[in-house]
Chains A and B, each alone.
Chain A
Amino acid sequence: MSASATRTVSVLKGLGFTDAVSIPDGESRCLYQALVEDSDIEVYLPTREGEGIAIAAGLWVGGRRPVVVLQNTGLMEAGDALRGCGIGPSIPLLLLVGWRGYPGAMAGTFPVDSAYTYTEPLLEAWGLPHRTLMNNDDLGVIEEMAAVAGATSRPAAVVYGHPFSP
C-alpha cells in the first residue's frame, strides 16, 4: 500500500511544476528516480534540506514552480530556511514530506521513532497546512495542498506515510 511514483510525477506535471529539489531517502527513493527519468521536470539534489528550501525559494522568485521533496528529519533540520525562505516572505512552496516512522508506529513497533512523533506537532507549530498521502487514492491531496499554498501564499505540505512504489 503506497502511492505510485510515476503517477505522482504525472500529477505534479499536470499542475505545472517545473522543478523538484530533493534529497532522496528511503521513502522517496522511487519518486526521486521517477523525477530524474522525466524530462519535463528539472531535478536538483542539494546536500541538506535547508539548502534545498532556499534553492526552491530562489527558483520561485525567479518565476519557476518548484516542489521540495524531503524527509521529516530533513524538515526538522531545515527549520530556519523554512521560516526565512517560505513562511516569512510568503513563498508558496509545496513540500512533499516523508513520514519516517509512520509504518512502524502503525504496526506498534517499539520504540516509536521520534521522527514520527514530532512530525505533525511540528507542522502545526509552523502553521503549515498539511494532508496525508497514503496510496493512489489520495493523490488528489497534492493538487489540494498546491492550491492551498497558492491561495494562502505560504508553504503547504503533503505528508506521505509509506515509501513510494515505482
Chain B
Amino acid sequence: MERLDLFRALAAQRSDEIVVTTMTATLQWPLVSTHPLDFDFLAFGMGHASDFGLGLALARPERKVIVLKGDGGLLMSLGSMVTMGRHGPPNLLVLLLENRGYEMTGGQAFSTKVDFVALARGAGIDKVEQIEELATVEAELPRLLDEPGPHFVVLPVTNSEPLPPVRHTDHTLRVTNLRRALGVG
C-alpha cells in the first residue's frame, strides 16, 4: 500500500490519540495532520521512538499512544520489542512501516529474511498482526484504536510521492507543546 494513503486513512479516523512519528518513514505525516497531539521524535534518539511512546503510554493510561516508525529504526533497537512485550500497556499501538531499507540514507536494503511479525511474537508481544491492504487497514483501524493492546502491526508500504524536506524544529518546543496539549506542567 502507498504510505501516504495509509497516513490519510489513519488521520481520518484518529481523534484524541497521541501520534509519535520519526525519521524519513514519517516525513509525510504533517501533510495529512497538524494535530496538537502529534509529536515529531525526529533526532531525539535513533531507534527509540517506540520506547518514548511506551513511556508516554505508561504515563497517560487514559489515552491511546500511536507510534509510527520505520523498520530500519526498529532494527536499531530490537530489544525494545522485548521491553514492549513485558511492560507495554494496553493503550500502546505501534505501527511498523515496513519498506525493507534505510530510506533516510538512500534506501540501502537490509536482509530480506527478517520476519518482523515473528520477531514481535517472539519478543512476547501478544497482539501482533500484519496488514497488507489499505482497505483492510481502514476496516481494522476502529478496532485497533479501541481494543486494549498493546498492539504491534506490521504494514508493508511503498512510496511514490515526493518527500517533504527534513525540518529540525526546536526540540524543547516540541516537548513543551505536547505537555501543554496534555495539560502537564
> Roughly how many angstroms separate A61 CA and B137 CA in the complex, as a whole number?
30
Q: Are A88's CB and B52's CB within 8 A?
A: no
In the complex, which of the residues A19, A48, A54, A63 contacts B60, with contact meaning CB atoms closer than 8 Å? Answer: A63
Q: Which of A18-64 contact B (CB under 8 A)?
A: 19, 42, 44-48, 50-64
Chain A residue numbers with a CB within 8 Å of B47 are: 50
Q: Interface residues of B: mostly helix, strand, loop or mixed?
A: helix
Instruction: Decide yes or no whether A149 CB sits under 8 A from chain B.
Output: no
Chain B residue numbers with a CB within 8 Å of A89 are: 44, 171-172, 174-175
Q: Are B171's CB and A63's CB within 8 A?
A: no
> Roughly how many angstroms separate A48 CA and B45 CA in the complex, as a whole number?
13
Chain A residue numbers with a CB within 8 Å of B45 are: 50, 53-54, 80-81, 83-85
- Chain B residue at minimum C-beta to C-beta distance from A82: B45
Instruction: Decide yes or no whether A158 CB sits under 8 A from chain B.
Output: no
Chain B residue numbers with a CB within 8 Å of A88 are: 43-44, 171-172
Chain A residue numbers with a CB within 8 Å of B10 are: none
Instruction: Decide yes or no whether B127 CB sits under 8 A from chain A.
Output: no
In the complex, which of the residues B53, B82, B172, B185 contacts A58, with contact meaning CB atoms closer than 8 Å? Answer: B53
In the complex, which of the residues B82, B174, B178 contacts A47, with contact meaning CB atoms closer than 8 Å? Answer: B82
Cβ of A89 to closest chain B Cβ, rounded Å: 4
Chain B residue numbers with a CB within 8 Å of A19 are: 58
> Roughly how many angstroms separate A142 CA and B47 CA in the complex, as a whole number?
30
- Chain A residue at minimum C-beta to C-beta distance from B48: A54
Chain A residue numbers with a CB within 8 Å of B58 are: 19, 42, 44, 55, 58-59, 62, 64
> Roughly how many angstroms separate A80 CA and B185 CA in the complex, as a whole number?
26
Chain B residue numbers with a CB within 8 Å of A42 are: 58
> Roughly how many angstroms separate A51 CA and B55 CA in the complex, as a whole number?
10
- Chain A residue at minimum C-beta to C-beta distance from B60: A62
Chain B 172-185 per-residue mask, 1 if CB under 8 angstroms from chain A, else 0: 10110011001011
Instruction: Decide yes or no whether B103 CB sits under 8 A from chain A.
Output: no
Chain A residue numbers with a CB within 8 Å of B36 are: none
Query: In the complex where A63-B182, A83-B45, A89-B171 touch, is A46 in contact with B55 (Cβ < 8 A)?
Result: no
Query: Please, could you name 18 A-B residue pairs with CB atoms under 8 Å apart, sorted by A?
Result: A44-B83, A46-B79, A50-B77, A54-B44, A54-B51, A58-B56, A60-B55, A62-B182, A63-B59, A63-B60, A63-B182, A64-B58, A80-B45, A80-B46, A84-B48, A85-B45, A88-B171, A89-B175
The 4 tightest CB contacts between A and B, nearest first, are A58-B55, A62-B59, A47-B79, A54-B48
Seen from chain B, the residues whose Cβ lies within 8 Å of a Cβ on chain A are: 43-49, 51-60, 77, 79-80, 82-83, 86-87, 171-172, 174-175, 178-179, 182, 184-185
Seen from chain A, the residues whose Cβ lies within 8 Å of a Cβ on chain B are: 19, 42, 44-48, 50-64, 66, 80-81, 83-85, 88-91, 153
